[in-house]
Amino acid sequence: TLLEVSARDRRGLIWTVCRAVASLGFTIRSAHVSTFGDEARDVFYVNHEGQALSPEAAEDLRHLVFALLV
């Protein structure tokens, strides 16, 4: 499952996203991190026990990450 994060770059941004993923019991298979000026555009490939997240689990993750980054 792809999680794309576009946010203003700041100290601890990647840690915050990774902590959110782990708090829900998911695993990051790979991450691609890019910074353009003061904007971060990061892509995380997330799974649960080697499988793609269910639509409900993906939505839970999206809401959690959004709430932590606003």
pLDDT tens-digit profile of 10-43?
999 999 999 999 999 999 999 999 999 999 999 9
Q: Which amino acid is at 69?
A: L
pTM of the model: 0.92
Q: Which strands make up the sheet holding 27-36, listed edge to edge?
A: 2-8, 39-47, 27-36
Provide the pLDDT confidence category of residue 7 given band limits of 50, 70 and 90: very high
* DSSP 8-class letter at 16: H
Report long-range pairs for 21-30 (Cβ below 8 Å, ≥24 apart).
21/46, 21/61, 23/64, 24/57, 24/60, 24/61, 24/64, 26/53, 26/57, 26/61
